[in-house]
């Protein structure tokens, strides 16, 4: 896939987000970092513990267990939603096409909370976790992608 000049590229996983712009041209893309965010999201065990809840049935003596909340997963989803907002604001301000690279689970949350105006400008959604790679390696992943 070719990356036009000015295209926004977002790489995200559950704890880190990179928002970049192609400052180069189509034959030689150069990704320049606009924003970088890292979430403080410790494991669920470190965020709090409690006994699993119990639910009682009104029609008898039966009880049911209620599962624990995964606070770490909740934090990753909140981080992805905040990243969607950041990308939406940047795209509305600067315009242009958008490419999103995300871990598959984060991409699902991204799609669910993506505003319609931003969705129209997305030209590719690549389900790969590349946020910890160098920008040159991210360029290679995008240019090798075929929709």
pLDDT in tens, 132-144: 999 999 999 999 9
Q: In total, how many domains does the chain have?
A: 1
**CB 68, CB 54: distance < 8 Å:** no
**CB 22, CB 94: distance < 8 Å:** no
| pLDDT tier, 2 (very low <50, low <70, confident <90, very high otherwise) | very high
Residue 75, pLDDT score: 76
| Bridge partners for 4 per DSSP | none
pLDDT in tens, 42-94: 555 455 555 555 555 566 666 555 556 666 677 788 899 999 999 999 999 99
Residue 131, pLDDT score: 93
46 within some domain: no
**CB 106, CB 131: distance < 8 Å:** no
62 within some domain: no
Residue 12 DSSP code: E
* Cα 21 from Cα 33, distance rounded (Å): 7
50 within some domain: no
What ranges in the chain are assigned the alpha helix state H? Answer: 44-47, 71-94, 104-113, 116-121, 135-144
18 within some domain: yes
Percentage of the residues of the chain whose pLDDT score is greater than 70: 78
Its domain, for residue 95, covers 8-39+68-144
1 within some domain: no
CATH of residue 28's domain is 3.30.420.60
* Cα 8 from Cα 73, distance rounded (Å): 27
């Amino acid at each position: 896939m070719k990356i036009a000049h000015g295209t926004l590229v977002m790489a995200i996983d559950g704890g880190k987000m990179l928002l970049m712009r192609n400052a180069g041209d189509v034959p030689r893309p150069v990704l320049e970092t606009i924003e970088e965010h890292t979430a403080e999201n410790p494991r669920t065990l470190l965020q709090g513990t409690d006994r699993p809840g119990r639910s009682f049935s009104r029609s008898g003596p039966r009880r049911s267990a209620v599962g624990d909340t995964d606070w770490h997963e909740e934090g990753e989803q909140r981080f992805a939603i905040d990243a969607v907002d950041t990308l939406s604001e940047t795209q509305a301000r600067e315009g242009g096409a958008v490419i999103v690279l995300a871990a598959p689970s984060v991409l699902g949350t991204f799609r669910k909370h993506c505003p319609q105006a931003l969705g129209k400008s997305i030209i590719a959604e690549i389900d790969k976790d590349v946020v910890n790679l160098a920008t040159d390696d991210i360029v290679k992943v995008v240019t090798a992608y075929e929709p």
